Amino acid sequence: MGRERVLLAAASVMAGVLLLGHSASAAEPEACKQVRMADPGWTDITATNAVAGILLNALGYEQKVASLSVPITYVGVKKEQIDVFLGNWMPAQKGLVEPILKEGAMEVLHANLPGAKFTLAVPGYVADGGVKSFADLAKYADKFDRKIYGIESGSPANQNIKKMIEAKSYGLDGWTLVESSEQSMLSQVARKEKGKDWIVFLAWEPHQMNTKFQISYLDGDKDYFGPNYGSATVNTVSRKGYANQCPNVARLFSQLEFTVDLENKAITDVLDQKIDAKAAGMRQLKANPKMLEAWLSGVKTYGGDDGLAAVKKVLASN
């Protein structure tokens, strides 16, 4: 009996050592294992979420993506129900996010796409007809039926357009906003383009629309979408305290930076080639090994192993 007690005690000590060793090697607490993210239904965010999901899964994390409008996404971030959001387009979302940032309820981790565009645009033949800037729209109000085509109801971009119309900026007196989904809006662009009819709509880059249509971005705005043809930056934001609580995965998101070319290719694969977003993301990860090294510099797996090696292993097997 005495020998059994000794063996049992030794086994307990060994189990404790192993458990302690696992805790010491684990990069983060268990609460960090699931990463809650959001997708407002934009193809670019679907693509970047897919890339992030492949990386997270390879590192031993679990990605959970909720389909939420942008305003509800920020409510989720504020209430600590969403951990990370890859779609903070600035300055278009400035009015929505500034109060949350001032409250300290949200943190900006990194600019994941510094070379973006987001503003109103027209087809090339409309630009050739004389519409080059916001100030030109009112001159051809009848040709546009005094309509601006936007995306989903409640989006910050649509709110900007509504404010612009209400203020009668750029002479847009009596104009209306047509709200719809991203794909419905682009279907209208395709229909109008086929008949060479005039249309003004929300456009952004990266997106497949830039290769599918001949788009001319409008200049001359500084109050709603920003100057320089809507020059924009897309940020990665997180809930309050996320980087301190989950420093390893937050490091990944703080280093995750895309390019317009990478996103355009992934979006084109999804929309034109009908490839699953995850497969499109996998294709881009394999095509950009140097980018992968920068993203994963110093990042560990959930269990504390080398992150880059783990991701490369997954990519090699797919």
Question: Over 80: is that where the pLDDT of 10 sits?
Answer: no
- pLDDT tens-digit readout, 208-221: 899 889 999 999 99
Q: What gap in Å lies between CA 208 and CA 269, rounded to an integer?
A: 9
Q: According to the model, what pLDDT value does residue 285 have? A: 94
Q: Which domains does the chain have, with CATH numbers?
A: 32-115+233-316 (3.40.190.10), 117-231 (3.40.190.100)
Question: Over 60: is that where the pLDDT of 22 sits?
Answer: no
Go through 88-123 and write b for each residue having 16 or more CB atoms within 10 A of its CB, e for each that does not: bbbbbbeebbeebeeeebbbebbebbeebbbbbbbb
Q: What percent of the chain has pLDDT over 70?
A: 92
Q: According to the model, what pLDDT value does residue 27 have? A: 56
Average pLDDT over residues 108-137: 96
Average pLDDT over residues 153-180: 95
Find, among 108, 62, 54, the residue nearest to 281 by Cα: 54
Q: What percent of the chain has pLDDT over 90?
A: 81
Close Cβ partners of 81 (under 8 Å, ≥ 6 residues apart): 36
Q: Are 232 and 91 in contact (CB under 8 A)?
A: yes
Q: Which two tokens stand for residue 133?
A: 């800037």
Question: Over 70: is that where the pLDDT of 198 sits?
Answer: yes
Q: According to the model, what pLDDT value does residue 115 have? A: 86
Q: Are 37 and 63 in contact (CB under 8 A)?
A: yes
Q: According to the model, what pLDDT value does residue 108 have? A: 97
